[in-house]
Amino acid sequence: MSWSRRTRHHLSSPLGIVTAGLLLLLLVTAILAPPLLGDRADEIVVGSLQSGSSAEHPFGTDALGRDVFTRTLVATRMSLVLALLVVAIGVVAGLIIGAVPIVLGKRAGRVVVAGLNLMVAFPGLLLALFLAMIFGVGARGAVLSMSIAFAPSFARLTHTTASGIANADYVSAARLLGVSRWRILTRHVIPNISEPLIVNMTSQVGAALLSISALSYLGFGVQPPSYDWGRMLSDGLPAIYTNPAAALAPCITIVVAGLTFVLAGELLTQILGGHHHGHLRMPSRLSRRQGPEAAAPTRSADDGDEVLRLDGLTVTMPGETTPFSPVTDVSLRIRPGEIVGLVGESGSGKSLTAMAAARLISYPGLAEADVHRIKGQELRLMRSRDRERLLGTSLAMVFQDPMSSLNPTLKVGRQLAEVAETHEGLGRRDAWQRAVDRLSAVLISSPEVRAKQYPMEFSGGMRQRASIAMGLMAQPALIIADEPTTALDVTVQREVLNLLQRISEQTAAAVLLISHDIAVVAETASRVLVMYAGRVVEELPVSGLVTDAAHPYTRALVASIPDMSTDRSQPLASIPGRPPHTAQLPAGCAFAPRCGYADDQCLEHRPELVDSGRGGAVACWHPLLPAGRAPQGMAGPASVPASARRVAAEGEV
């Protein structure tokens, strides 16, 4: 949106209309009230001192018998002018002080900043009161004291915003080129900090209005016969029993005027910042579900001893215009002790599939499946308490980033122990003992000491092993590891994968290993599922990965793995193009636009996942023949463009 369109958009919003209306009202009153009503405001109505509200005097009269309503209107100008003066002087002083560190360099800067920090610690009103003693009572003294009290916070804002910019690359470049500090300040710094300063200034007018009124109320500000709202409040307050309106009228105007400037600041932020709150379409439960177990299993006989069975999983997310499904119709079966790899590029839906398998898709996402069984128990039919216990004891998760997936404020041992405390009712000491035991099981040395440490005292690989140990606190039948090695060093990756393999062998726990790196999966898993644009496009045993892959996408992924025979003078293989966003999927095969074998059928009709005849399944109209034989009337896999060569998904974090 362009700036002017954005301005119009925001001005026509309810906030914009209210703010503009109030500002206009204040401005008109401030300009017109004193010349038009000034005389009437000083007129003394004989015989009606401090009278309550009447038709003639809607807010009654004050102690001298003057009309409160008129005086409130006339006082608008004085109150606003004083507030604007405070901010103007405060901003100028603040800009000068705040820019000192940039112009004078580091050492002088540090002194100024230390002084500012001290000043900012003191509430402005207190500072102003002490200063009022020096500057004396009266409008001038009050404005001076208040603006000096306001200056430190402006100075600090100037300084923090400016030092952010002063460290920016283009300013460093200017400095290297020998541009003077003064010129850097005027050419680079001030233009870039003006936006936050203007926004802040606007809302500070409101704050200044409240503060200067407070000073007047306390008797430091405007002195009779002049008056502003604060003065009127202090005159009206003693008579609050006889005519409350005399005290309440200035109260209300001060609040409304203050609020107007706060709203104006808010509006400016939106206009300058370009915030546009679009409404997302939320997914609702789909009606296509025909109840549990209704859909027929698509492949392989139902052999009942699976640790995980997931049929027809669809994950829906809110979208700009309509909800979309980053995961569609995914089915997964995992047997005890099996390691199943789930590969795909970033955005293919593999992590969402993993989260859905663990029932961890959270608002606003929505996961639905026809069948979702863990150890043969249908999760959707269980009471939530039983389900949580089943998942808590038999399912373990290992996440991608060990730096952020452990709680930084809890000791590692505590984070492990609480699993056993929650799900097995172990006492604190027993749970802790088990935590130490599991830490040693994942080969963490001196586990007693380590358990008492915080995650930040662990290295990345150690944290990931601790995460795995956390999963081993109960007796997991399934470990879902979502990119467990992506954030780790290559040498540490190996350790973590070996550990997962060893656990799987020793405890017969199944592992669902999610990775964008087909090499990691090929080394560790026994079966691979390849995902593309939210769907499984191929499933096959790892043993057949190199020779039997039928989907061109799988072939391309395999071709991207470097091995000892790879010609290292050539760049690595990659798949040209990018995967489509699942909110805008093409009608046919989602891979067709990047596929060297695609024809009209591929572009128009989406292929279903069917038995490939090689111990797996594939969703492709032109499945490739096992390596060595060319597919029907097509060029061999070598025609997958190998010129641009890098793993497209490699950069995923």
Partner 1 sequence: MRSSFRARHPWLVFLTRRLGRFVVSMAVVVTAAFAMVHALPGDPVRAALGLRASPETIRATREQLGLDDPLWLQYVDYVRGLLHLDLGISLDSQTPVREVMAQLVPATVKLGLAAFVVCIVIAIPVGLLIGIATRDGRGRTVHLGFGGLTGLALSVPDYLLSVGLVFVFSVSLGALPVAGMTGAASFVLPVIALVVGPGAYLARIVRAETQGVLSEDYIRTARAKRLPARVVYLRHALPNTLTPTLTVCGMILASMLAGTVLVESVFAWPGIGAELVDSVLVKDYPMVQAVALFFGAGILLINLVVDVAIAAFDPRSTIKES
Task: Quote the tokens at residue 214.
Answer: 């407070």
Please identify which residue in 35, 105, 136, 274 interacts with partner 1, judged by CB under 8 A.
136
Q: Closest distance between partner 1 and the C-beta of residue 213, in Å? A: 8
Q: Closest distance between partner 1 and the C-beta of residue 204, in Å? A: 13
Please identify which residue in 4, 284, 287, 409 interacts with partner 1, judged by CB under 8 A.
409
Please identify which residue in 83, 210, 469, 620 interacts with partner 1, judged by CB under 8 A.
210
Whether the Cβ atoms of residue 432 and residue 473 lie closer than 8 Å to each other: no
Separation CA 522–CA 520 (nearest Å): 6
By CB under 8 A, residue 456 contacts partner 1: yes
Q: Closest distance between partner 1 and the C-beta of residue 170, in Å? A: 28
Q: What is the sign of the dihedral through the CA atoms of 432, 438, 442 and 445? A: positive
By CB under 8 A, residue 63 contacts partner 1: no
Q: Closest distance between partner 1 and the C-beta of residue 563, in Å? A: 34
Please identify which residue in 20, 42, 138, 454 interacts with partner 1, judged by CB under 8 A.
454
Residues 341-360: x where in contact with partner 1 by CB under 8 A, - otherwise, as a string = -----------------x-x
Separation CA 5–CA 646 (nearest Å): 43
For partner 1, which is the closer residue by CB, 191 or 219?
219
By CB under 8 A, residue 130 contacts partner 1: yes
Please identify which residue in 165, 185, 237, 585 interacts with partner 1, judged by CB under 8 A.
237
Separation CA 539–CA 52 (nearest Å): 86
In 477-561, which residue ranges form alpha helices assigned H by DSSP?
A: 490-507, 518-524, 545-548, 552-559
Please identify which residue in 59, 69, 154, 217 interacts with partner 1, judged by CB under 8 A.
217
Cis peptide upstream of residue 225 (ω within 30 degrees of 0): yes
For partner 1, which is the closer residue by CB, 391 or 513?
391
C-alpha separations of 220 from 132, 143, 146, 250 in Å:
7, 10, 11, 17
By CB under 8 A, residue 406 contacts partner 1: yes
For partner 1, which is the closer residue by CB, 327 or 412?
412
Please identify which residue in 24, 108, 122, 502 interacts with partner 1, judged by CB under 8 A.
122
Please identify which residue in 54, 407, 446, 498 interacts with partner 1, judged by CB under 8 A.
407
For the chain, the C-alpha Rg in angstroms (whole number) is: 35
By CB under 8 A, residue 634 contacts partner 1: no
Q: What is the sign of the dihedral through the CA atoms of 339, 349, 532 and 460? A: negative
Separation CA 74–CA 250 (nearest Å): 11
Q: Closest distance between partner 1 and the C-beta of residue 535, in Å? A: 25
Q: Closest distance between partner 1 and the C-beta of residue 361, in Å? A: 11
Residues 243-302 that bind partner 1 (CB under 8 A): 244, 247-248, 251, 254-255, 258-259, 262
By CB under 8 A, residue 419 contacts partner 1: yes
Give the number of residues in contact with partner 1, rule: CB under 8 A.
61
Separation CA 316–CA 326 (nearest Å): 7
DSSP states of 308-355 as a string? EEEEEEEEEE-BSSS-EEEEEEEEEEE-TT-EEEEE--TTSSHHHHHH
By CB under 8 A, residue 391 contacts partner 1: yes
Task: Quote the tokens at residue 325.
Answer: 């499904």
Separation CA 401–CA 482 (nearest Å): 9
Cα dihedral angle (228, 234, 238, 240), rounded to 10 degrees? 60
Stretch of residues binding partner 1 (CB under 8 A), selected from 171-179, 331-339, 396-404, 526-534: 396-404
CB 328: neighbour CB atoms within 10 A? 19
The strand pairing partners of 314, in sequence order, are: 368
By CB under 8 A, residue 54 contacts partner 1: no
Question: Is the backbone of residue 567 left (phi > 0), alpha (psi -120 to 50) or beta?
Answer: beta
Positions in the binding site for partner 1 (CB under 8 A): 118, 121-126, 129-130, 132-134, 136-137, 206, 210, 214, 217-220, 233, 237, 240-241, 244, 247-248, 251, 254-255, 258-259, 262, 358, 360, 362-364, 388-389, 391-392, 397, 399, 401, 404-410, 418-419, 422-423, 454, 456, 467, 470
